[in-house]
Amino acid sequence: MRVFLDTNIILDLLLEREGWENCARLLQWKEKGVLDICVSVLTMANVAYIYRKVVGEQVVIPNLKYLSAFFEVLSMDDKQFQTAILKEGKDFEDILQAVCAAEGNCAYIVTRNIGDFVIKDAFGQKGTVLPPALTPSMLLKELDAA
């Protein structure tokens, strides 16, 4: 199963924020060959920006290099941008992430903030179908039940 991790999931893991253990369990499922984990280049830029403010410049790049061995980093392009502007949601950055996840053939977006991924087509357009959002615990329940 191919999944897309939202920025907050990676930050939870790096900063050992509440729920980080579930994020670590997702990496274990990846090591078992059950999950393919994707992030976008935008995710990695957002993580670097936020993480640097918390831990300092010296540890950001080494930790991102380490983590990138676990993730496929998906590119973003103008086509994705043009698709995203035809969607409506709370936050344009999350719409971009969802479009990237769809283009990357991800089954789910894994996030702490499911409400941020309530996205619909705007202007009466019928567009790209976006993957549903799950929390890490929701995805783990699904994996454990399989």
- CATH T-level fold of 2-141: Rossmann fold (3.40.50)
**Count of residues making up the chain:** 146
> Rounded to whole angstroms, what are the CA distances from 32 to 1, 89, 96, 135?
12, 35, 29, 20
Question: Can you tell me whether residue 73 is helix, strand or coil?
Answer: strand
Domain boundaries, the chain: 2-141
pTM of the shown model: 0.91
Q: What percent of the chain stands above pLDDT 70?
A: 97
In this predicted structure, the answer to whether residue 88 has a pLDDT above a threshold of 70 is yes
Question: pLDDT tens-digit profile of 28-78?
Answer: 999 999 999 999 999 999 999 998 888 888 888 888 888 888 899 999 999
In this predicted structure, the answer to whether residue 120 has a pLDDT above a threshold of 80 is yes
CA angle in degrees (0–180, nearest 5) for 74-39-56: 115
